[in-house]
Amino acid sequence: MAKWAAALRGVLPSLSSGRASADPPASEAPASSRAQNESWSKHANDHAPVVWLLGKVQSGKTSIIRAITQSTEAEIGDGFRPCTRTARIFAFPGEMPVLRFLDTRGLGEANYDPAEDLAFAEANAHLVLATMRAMDPAQDALIEALRKVRTRHPDWPIVVAQTSLHDGYPSGAGHVLPYPFADASASQPEGRRAIERIPTDLMRGLAYQRTLLDKLPGRGALLFVPVDLTKADDRLPPSDYGLEALTEALATVAPAGMRFALSAMPGFHADPKARSADPIVMGHAVAAGGSDLVPFPVAGTIASSTIQARMLAQLGKLYGIDWDRRAYAELSAALGAGTLAKVATSIGLRQLAKMLPVYGQTAGAAASAAASFAVTYALGKAAVFYLHGRRLGTTDRKGIADTYQQAMREAFRMAKERRRLDQDREAQP
């Protein structure tokens, strides 16, 4: 953790001179410098986003913190500080935190009243992460606490981590691989085979716990993620089983400010498939732009459409989701009929420009290429956003539309810069 804290300080200009040797040891630092550092640290501790961990004792809260922050058990134990009579908070990194974890210790104990913890969380928390041991059906205290939270804050998102999956395994059995609990698993043959291997008792336990929250009030997102976060000496590899699915779920429902803080966590993966998706999108966008560098309008349109269809197919395969009628309808609805009409009109006008004898051979082709590149790039980025959410069982129409518009602006900037570089190169003797 000390290395992480040092690295964090190094990337914050206001807290670092840029040279490691420039900061004197704490014992030698001037009193004014120590006071300033303490002021910065207090501000960070008071304002870092809070994930509210809500669950019974031994339900896996500490394991989740360990997996996300990559801290040791000792560091987590020493890092907790009391904030109410029945709750404690863990700030990470300890010296200048970017994220805090609120742990309610009294849940499940006799006469526990979450009112004080709720009051603290209302002023600080940005996300509720509930924890249930997968094979523990006695969740009345947790359900009641979540009901109170949602009654007062119906829009608050809740992620439920169903932990300690191995409690439901037959003796000597290991994890089912590949991870079978993502929504997309059922659409792939390998995923379907993995689902069939999930132990029956475990499936019943997971299903029962989900029914407990069927009547939870509110309209905020509610996501369930089975996880099993063990230690290396437990000899149950992989020790971070389901962690990627959990961090994906957190990134999907978290407010924008918290997503930034979460992304700074060493064990966090907002969308583990995004890195593989990026070259697919860019490669097809470049190909679509190149397909329009011919003076035949109809041929250019057909080629771009074919390339875009192929791109969507590859992205669907990457995320394990088929582009069926539902998928196309949801993406189209998110982008909006008006947006799609504008795209079609824009490309049509640029294709028409190619018919002009001189202009169509030069400026028309260049404009059409830029438009096809931008539309394909934006469509790909919007599709990635949609597919990522679909894997988790959510469809954020506004997020998809915002992603599309932002990607369009980004693509036209890239195309403009590329055109300027080409012109400069041609102007050189």
pLDDT confidence bin for 256, thresholds 50/70/90: low
pLDDT at 20 over 50: no
| Residue 74 Ramachandran class (φ > 0 left, ψ -120 to 50 alpha, else beta) | alpha
Q: Give this prediction's pTM.
A: 0.59
pLDDT at 46 (0 to 100) = 59
Query: Measured in Å, how far apart are the chain's first and last C-alpha atoms?
Result: 56
In the chain, CATH 3.40.50.300 covers 35-263
pLDDT at 353 over 60: no
Regarding the domain delimited by 35-263, which CATH topology (the fold level of the hierarchy) does it fall under? Rossmann fold (3.40.50)
Question: What's the whole-number average pLDDT of the chain?
Answer: 74
- 22 DSSP assignment: G
Least confident of 98-102, 272-276, 360-364: 360-364
pLDDT at 26 (0 to 100) = 44
Residues contacting 273, CB < 8 A, separation 6+ = 318, 319, 388
pLDDT at 200 (0 to 100) = 93
- Residue 64 CA to chain centroid, in angstroms? 16
- Mean local confidence (pLDDT), 245-261: 76
- Mean local confidence (pLDDT), 138-165: 91
pLDDT digits (tens, 9 = 90+) for 261-270: 676 677 666 6
pLDDT at 358 (0 to 100) = 36
Helix, strand and coil content of the chain, in percent to the nearest 5, comes to 60, 10, 30
pLDDT at 5 over 70: no
Element (H, E) at 406: helix 397-427
DSSP labels, 88-119: EEEEESSSS-SEEEEEETTTTSTT--THHHHH
pLDDT at 187 over 60: no
pLDDT at 23 over 50: no
